[in-house]
Amino acid sequence: MERLLTRFRTLATCSYQLPGYVPCRFHHCAPGRGKRLVLSRVFQPQNLREDQVLSPEGRSGDLTCKSQRLMLQVGLIHPASSGCYHLLPYAVRAMEKLVRVIDQEMQAIGGQKVNMPSLSSAELWRATDRWDLMGKELLRLRDRHGKEYCLGPTHEEAITALVASQKTLSYKQLPFLLYQVTRKFRDEPRPRFGLLRGREFYMKDMYTFDSSPEAARQTYSLVCDAYDRLFHRLGLRCVKVQADVGSIGGTMSHEFQLPVDIGEDRFAVCPSCSFSANMETLDSSQRNCPACQGPLTETRGIEVGHTFYLGTKYSSIFNAQFINVHGKPSLAEMGCYGLGVTRILAAAVEVLSTEDCIRWPGLLAPYQLCLIPPKKGSKEAVAIELTGQLYDHITEVVPQLRGEVLLDDRTHLTIGHRLKDANKFGYPFVIIAGKRALEDPAHFEVWCQNTGEVVFLTKEGVVELLSQVQVV
């Protein structure tokens, strides 16, 4: 038991919670039916056999990555059309937790959350020439009055116009760090890999406004450090690499890459120093590190974050000004910072899961614990009630797990069948009331999915173990 607790404390070190943060809780139970969350009531279309899983085009052979296949199998997502997916209850719970972690990190550095319209006027985009520059990837539409819009893939124009409309800004009010978590749209020519590359997705985009280039670079480092903390909390080993500014523009850019074989980006790292860069920024013949001349190692990755130092590229177009210390108007120095929310979810599943079973970052697991009572009619059936009592006891004495415990009430199925399902869903902890639950005192079989350990614990031992679980 002590060895298990020690290993679990190690896993939990990156799952700290910011002071004063109170997590939200909700139940999917109908009123009057009690507060136990039961699996039979979860809306979760499942295709637990691989040969039953189809892509939006209806061909199982199009499932070209592990995360897409697993997320479809267990019913995290369901195809709607090419590049678009329904996010089902488990996926929504995981995403809401990810957004809470993002909110904690962004607000810890002074971020203020806003929400801008998805519809963006063509006038704004024409002002920066991006209406034409973005080409076919921009989803465009026209209203009944003939006015043109796009469904925003990003919001530099909109946020800069918003700040520019405030005519009395002072340098004393800066910096502003304004961010949102919203749906974004891109007319991908070839959507693939499920949530990793779609036409509709969730993104966190932050836009910063500073009073000088020096202050803007400090803010840039501040946000990058927050990204590092975020990925550390999730247990994802991301690499910050130099990147091209692309259509967004600016004078400096970095990507946060999660190394994985199916990644569509190629980047180089130097084992001898801290240099790393997207291959697009290097000469095709370059094989040595420009910083230390050591050999470069090339790898593939999934881009899960991107940062840009914009300078006055947008503030000069929309005249986003503030009054400086000398009482004169000055243009704001800007930066923009993106995180692919649904992409991080899928990328985490891709790198942490086995070929057959989903594994989550501890903080993002849709439910922390699944309880499996005996099969009805079995010799151990008397422990069915005992399992319910354990559920009530855990949620009473471990308050952070209220809303995080799921009871697999499908007692017409064997324990083995339900354990196999639980393993595939990736609950961090699974507790089974088997033969030893009939002992005095009762012992429960505890599966710790992220460590691969199985132990038998009394009710008190279960509580001691679960009291260390971190949630958001």
- Rounded to an integer, what is the distance from CA 132 to the centroid of its chain? 31
What rounded mean pLDDT belongs to the chain?
Answer: 91
Q: Is the pLDDT of residue 232 over 80?
A: yes
Q: Is the pLDDT of residue 304 over 70?
A: yes
Q: What local confidence, expressed as pLDDT, does residue 251 receive?
A: 87
List all residues 6 or more positions away from 226 whose beta carbon is below 8 Å from its beta carbon.
105, 106, 108, 109
Across 96-111, average pLDDT:
98
Q: What local confidence, expressed as pLDDT, does residue 21 receive?
A: 44
Q: Is the pLDDT of residue 27 over 90?
A: no
Lowest mean pLDDT among 257-261, 281-285, 381-385, 461-465: 281-285
Across 204-213, average pLDDT:
98
Q: Is the pLDDT of residue 31 over 90?
A: no
Q: Is the pLDDT of residue 328 over 90?
A: yes
pLDDT, tens only, 273-284: 989 999 999 998
Q: Is the pLDDT of residue 15 over 90?
A: no
Q: Is the pLDDT of residue 365 over 70?
A: yes
Across 315-322, average pLDDT:
98
Task: Using pLDDT thresholds of 50, 70 and 90, give the confidence band for residue 34.
Answer: low
As a whole-number percent, the residues of the chain with pLDDT over 70 amount to 89
pLDDT, tens only, 142-187: 999 999 999 999 999 999 999 999 988 999 999 999 999 999 999 9
Across 252-261, average pLDDT:
97
Q: What local confidence, expressed as pLDDT, does residue 63 receive?
A: 73
Across 198-220, average pLDDT:
98
Q: What local confidence, expressed as pLDDT, does residue 285 receive?
A: 86
pTM of whole model > 0.85? yes
Q: What local confidence, expressed as pLDDT, does residue 274 receive?
A: 87
